[in-house]
Amino acid sequence: MKKIIFYLFCVTLVLSYSCEDEPIGKLNINRDTIEVDSELYHLIARIATLTDDPIDCIDFNYSFPLFVFDENLVFLEVTSITNNEQFSNFLSELPDSYSISLSYPITGTLNSGDLIDINNNQDLKEAIDAWRKRRISRILQ
């Protein structure tokens, strides 16, 4: 009986302390940030929400991690974004002094139905700018 109790104690001890504070894997934090008070940030927010003037050029294919940084670009947290409503709510609650970054690559579906791979902030900005140019040219016609 003493051996069984000792064995259970040892197993409990090992299970209680063996995995504490051990990293599960390396988190690759994208430090190519987008400031909350920037044009690109506001464009992303318009994509993720149903506003009076939405940007419907890209539907993000969820889910993807979003990294949050404070005003000193110190990493604060990572959040898994799973849908437009969550993305929109999350973006609307961030202080203006914060920055975000997306975990690239992400994919999206263009309003034409084509898939697009977005590998960095520049790709995202170019996709939105291309939509804006097409929209302006349609308005001017």
Residue at 82 is within a domain: yes
In a domain, 19, yes or no: no
Peptide bond into 65 cis (omega under 30): no
- Which residues of the chain fall below pLDDT 50? 6, 8-24
Rounded Cα gap, residues 118 and 109, in angstroms? 11
Number of compact structural domains in the chain: 1
Domain span at 44: 28-140
Q: What is the pTM of this model?
A: 0.70
Residue 24: per-residue pLDDT: 46
Q: Does some domain include residue 85?
A: yes
pLDDT for the residue numbered 27: 65
What is the overall mean pLDDT for the chain? 79
pLDDT at 45: 86
Any domain includes 22: no
